[in-house]
Structure 1
Amino acid sequence: MEHAVIQLSPVQLALAFLPVVITLAILFKWSFGVGRSLYALGRMLLQLLLIGYVLAWIFGAGDGWLVLIVLLVMLLASSWIALGTVGQHRRHLLVASLVSIAVGGGLTLALVTQAVLQLDPWFLPRYMVPLAGMVFANAMTAVSLCAERLYAEIKHGEAWDEARQAAYSAAMIPVINSLFAVGLVSLPGMMTGQILSGVSPLVAARYQIMVMCMIFASAGISTALFLAIVRRHLKAADES
């Protein structure tokens, strides 16, 4: 089988942790502490193993309602995590985060899955779930950077227009950098995964172009909506 995916045994996977152990040793020696890193690594292992079993079950079930529940969990989690940079305002901004990611990310996801890919059935899990993860994760990161920069600018006495411009620019930096780097510095996950599974690099490149457009749009739209909603919230707070 020329294009068979290489199967990883537990022993092979364990070898990938050798440089991780070295990094942890460096953190310990330089007194940075390894507690947070160990916690993050433990969560990563648990979350990926669990999601592997969950996705295998969902893919086998082929139920649209299950896919919708997964998308809802992704949306709620991303909306909450996005506000970790502004903890003191987290509860007040949750609705703004939820609406902005749902609209900006949701509309982009719907366009890609229903008009570009024309999924049949519409919820085809092996496409819908990974693409939703990319959309919501990037919208989450953009909103998170935007919120942190916005409140930092406001705290320093900047006017709304200047604070909004700085916040939007900061939110879009990672996305724009990824557009510059893709194909030169990095081969992103979607393209790498398809190439490893035996898909033609030309076909994989087309999918990656679609993904990059999706990421750029979801981040940009979600951040703009977040700023618009937050502006109303701040106006209401000032008037009261």
Structure 2
Amino acid sequence: MHVISWGSLAWCAIPVVLIATVYTRWSGKASEVLLSAARMTLQLIGVGYVLVALFENPSPWITGGVLVVMICIASWIALRPVNHQRNYLKPTLIALTCSAGLHLFISLVLVIGVDSWYEPRVIIPLAGMYFANTMNAISLATERYHSELQEGKPEPKARLTAFQAAMIPQINSLLAVGLVSLPGMMTGQILSGVSPLIAVRYQIMIMTMVLGSGGCGAALMLWQLGRADRSGRQRDNGPADADLVENDL
């Protein structure tokens, strides 16, 4: 495997500068892309040093703590499209934890068969992919659900539309993989010298788990929001109209 030096890595600033130039020429905020790229670089370097320490001293408590931090950050980011509404935070935490946790269990125990669930070298990269994709699915579903309700759509219709919107990236990635793109994990394994046939098996696991985790996370989030919305309408309408509200199910 070719090792990229820090000096060679500096050439990666070229695409960042190009996009920043477009922002500037079109009277946009070039600082947005520059700050994002700088933050990304610092975050990854910091994470790299943390992972080195974790890999050398695996601990269930430390690994569990890292996973909790990842879940909290992902849940908070997922609510960005709806202005971080506080009443959405608890359902997001539940949806993300349950969905990604289930698929991590399937991957680690049933598919890979690891001896220790807390092995950082295995669980943290998988958790990162599952949390990130589930976060995006929940974010898309929540934003669309919120918008549909504001437009006066009935809750069942808003829920279906939101779920379909959340699944578009998931379905597109399944259709494009292998034909349009080689996913990052598979590419990384191939570059590190792993047989493409072995890399394919891991990638199939990742793609199916990401599909399930994202879909289940979005569905669980929408179910919770719908339940809260129906409960709110029942309180507003009173006992006399409770039967009409139940018909919306």
In the alignment, the residues of structure 2 paired with residue 13 and residue 120 of structure 1 have an alpha-carbon distance, to the nearest angstrom, of 36
TM-score by length of 2: 0.92
Report the equivalent of 2:167: 172
TM-score by length of 1: 0.95
Give me the identity figure in percent: 45
Choose between structure 1 and 2 for higher RCO, CA contacts under 8 A separated by at least 6 residues: 1
Range that drifts further, 136-145 or 114-123? 114-123
Please give the secondary structure, in 1, of the residue aligned with 2:179.
coil
Pairing partner for 1:160 from 132, 141, 155: 155
Q: Is the contact between residue 54 and residue 120 of structure 2 (CA under 8 Å) also seen in structure 1? A: yes
User: Does 1:43 find its partner at 2:58?
Assistant: no
Deviation at 1:237, TM superposition (A): 2.6
Report the equivalent of 1:111: 106
Instruction: Give the CA RMSD over aligned residues.
Output: 1.0
Deviation at 1:19, TM superposition (A): 2.5
Q: Is the contact between residue 137 and residue 167 of structure 2 (CA under 8 Å) also seen in structure 1? A: yes
Which digits, 9 at most, give the CA deviation of each residue in 1:77-119, with x for residues without a partner?
11111111111x6210100000001001111111111111111
Which stretches in structure 2 are left out of the alignment for 5+ residues? 237-249
Rg comparison, structure with higher value: 2
Report the equivalent of 2:200: 205
Which digits, 9 at most, give the CA deviation of each residue in 1:42-95, with x for residues without a partner?
1101110100000110011111111111111111111111111111x6210100
In the alignment, the residues of structure 1 paired with residue 34 and residue 231 of structure 2 have an alpha-carbon distance, to the nearest angstrom, of 43
User: Does 1:237 find its partner at 2:244?
Assistant: no
Pairing partner for 2:50 from 48, 51, 54: 54
Pairing partner for 1:150 from 126, 145, 148: 145
Which stretches in structure 1 are left out of the alignment for 5+ residues? none
4+ residue runs over 4 A deviation: none
In the alignment, the residues of structure 1 paired with residue 225 and residue 107 of structure 2 have an alpha-carbon distance, to the nearest angstrom, of 28
Pairing partner for 2:178 from 155, 179, 183: 183
In the alignment, the residues of structure 2 paired with residue 187 and residue 123 of structure 1 have an alpha-carbon distance, to the nearest angstrom, of 28
